[in-house]
Structure 1
């Protein structure tokens, strides 16, 4: 079954798609629609306060690691412990283990904001009345907690039954999963999901496809053709980009995709550029022409020239999905930290991903580098990629070594260039600042400083 996914003739339309690997003037100041810096400061403080509480709550109540808690806090903000406590208490009362609850909240943190008694409890009771054992209930909800976010008993029941069948089929039939009968919509879904599993698609992505509103695992012929196209484009089945690409290709006809490409061509991008952007972020093709033009105009308002805007889109197509307010907030975050608008433009041109960084992350890293390490703000402008580095894995361990060397008077300059310390690989950094000392005892001490508390 599905042999044409790996064999058979190539579709004519795919010949264009295989080229994936190949490759306005200055505007005035920001429009009045952009809020003031003072308002942004208040918003930033409030956001940081909410994020800090969320992180603390996740660590204290669930025992999650700080890094994971910080990641979750970017998806959900908790204002107090009353509602999330009610949700956790409800899950415990239904027999969910500590590990299962942690898995549920990690995969679907919005559940902590749901109404435990009015929304979640009725769904859990309903599933019990349908004959779900305690083991089945906890296993399936832990695997796909998003089903508790679905509305209506009929919808919840349908997804629960489907997920149960797939889990059971996955356990029992192994390599013989293709023997499942063809016909009904549910049977097609089960078969298609198991086909993806055999290709190596991780379970967390399988079930995100299953409950997707776009229904990318429905049917047979359209699914089969879409999967063949994504495979031939070279996407890795073990990555989220494979899933994004499948969703996009399944959703749009060849004609619709061609029309979307034409939009980008009219805006000044070559076909090869569009497919290169698709390779980086498949979901960017979901944006409408209106949204694309809106993003371009917003970036122009920030001070970028037309060719600079197109360069940003090619490097970071995800920014097309950002709202005008999101981009404005990003600008105001940088301005609030002391960067000028001209410097913000330079940062965006050199490191477009900065638009998608959270205000908390930008503030935390900038203040550490400038206030704790005493690098000039202009160093961040010249090397903005440092804003994308991990504090725990790269920035703090390396800077601790530099501070130790400075305190011992072992660095000739007052402070080495930021790029020399942070941009290089770990091996290059160690060779440059740790292993190059004749004093072996000193080298051992510096290595201990580098590795102490470092997240691997």
Structure 2
């Protein structure tokens, strides 16, 4: 839990570091503008190549003329347990942090996470995965997103674990909007929680409204667990990959209507993990251009067997096993 005395000690160390002498740097450059200085700083402090350092500064508009601010930022992170390799990775993803005021931009976020039971190690992992969290509004985005995510878990501990695994939960507006829309459509909380834990990218698609309506038109009920499985399949399988799967089923003797009916009854049949069990991955690479009748029957029977294990009804089994 949040330890005020420990936090106060770390903050005092950080403030003291602001008065430390600046490290002198030698910059072999013909210009002295703020951009070239920032490029040289990245090369000197992190070992970035000139090309990569220049690209970072250009892409993220990183500019500063002295080492005071970036040094103070790095000292702040060091005082919170960031190692040098972690700092290097952090700045490689978010060089803009070197120009921030850590006491105003970063510290409030750290305090919030600590108050929810996050450890310093949790914070380091979360931030190094997604530095954009630190430049996201605490009150307007992070807190509401955290509270929304908290609704699907039993404790702050589980919510923090989810945020550490997928920091974009806290800084992507699209994801929060999609979750709210799914709730409004009656999707089970348990299904949303499962996606948050296992496939959070499913919830971060811009096509969510379209996908929800498409699945509802196919007969999927958002209040049933199958809806979450179908949503995951439609989101994670590209259109090209979907067509390849349908074509493969066709070669096994199934019509397009059969494939669609199978998806309605058992949406997992179009997932990558399920489909690869039956050798489709090798087939899609062209290792076998023709499938014998015997092999087709064997594969269909394998699919039928798997569907039985996942709760398909007898009518469906009879239809597709013959």
Measured against the shorter chain, the TM-score band is 0.5 to 0.7
Match of 1:201 among 32, 52, 55: 52
- Higher RCO, 1 vs 2 (CA within 8 Å, ≥6 residues apart): 1
Contact 2:129 2:167 in 1 (8 A): yes
Q: Which residue of 2 aligns with 1:233?
A: 86
- SS of residue in 2 equivalent to 1:395: helix
Instruction: Note closer, same or farther for the CA distance 1:285–1:378 as it changes in structure 2 (3 Å cut).
Output: same
Aligned residues: 249
CA distance in 2, matches of 1:434, 1:370: 33
Instruction: Note closer, same or farther for the CA distance 1:242–1:191 as it changes in structure 2 (3 Å cut).
Output: closer
Q: Which residue of 1 aligns with 2:148?
A: 298
Instruction: Note closer, same or farther for the CA distance 1:395–1:192 as it changes in structure 2 (3 Å cut).
Output: farther
Contact 1:216 1:223 in 2 (8 A): no
| TM-superposed deviation, 1:244 | 3.7
TM-score, normalised by the number of residues in structure 1: 0.41
Gaps of 5+ in 1: 1-12, 14-177, 445-456
Contact 1:264 1:274 in 2 (8 A): yes
Q: Which residue of 1 aligns with 2:236?
A: 389
CA distance in 2, matches of 1:199, 1:269: 37
Instruction: Note closer, same or farther for the CA distance 1:234–1:183 as it changes in structure 2 (3 Å cut).
Output: closer
Aligned pairs for 1:303-452 (under 5 A) are 304-307=153-156, 308-322=158-172, 327-333=176-182, 335-336=184-185, 339-358=187-206, 360-361=207-208, 363-364=210-211, 367=214, 371=218, 378-382=225-229, 385-386=232-233, 388-392=235-239, 394-407=241-254, 415=262, 418-419=267-268, 421-424=270-273, 428=276, 431-432=279-280, 435=283, 440-443=288-291
CA distance in 2, matches of 1:204, 1:270: 34
TM-score, normalised by the number of residues in structure 2: 0.54
Instruction: Note closer, same or farther for the CA distance 1:265–1:387 as it changes in structure 2 (3 Å cut).
Output: farther
| TM-superposed deviation, 1:235 | 5.2
Contact 2:37 2:63 in 1 (8 A): no
| TM-superposed deviation, 1:247 | 2.0
CA distance in 2, matches of 1:260, 1:326: 20
Contact 1:193 1:206 in 2 (8 A): no
Match of 1:180 among 29, 45, 53: 29
Cα deviation, 1:103-144, whole Å, max 9, x if unaligned, reads xxxxxxxxxxxxxxxxxxxxxxxxxxxxxxxxxxxxxxxxxx
| TM-superposed deviation, 1:284 | 1.0
Aligned pairs for 1:53-68 (under 5 A) are none
- Aligned residues: CA RMSD: 5.0
| TM-superposed deviation, 1:350 | 3.8
Match of 2:119 among 264, 270, 295: 270
- SS of residue in 2 equivalent to 1:363: helix
Instruction: Note closer, same or farther for the CA distance 1:233–1:389 as it changes in structure 2 (3 Å cut).
Output: same
Gaps of 5+ in 2: 1-9, 11-26, 76-81, 293-322
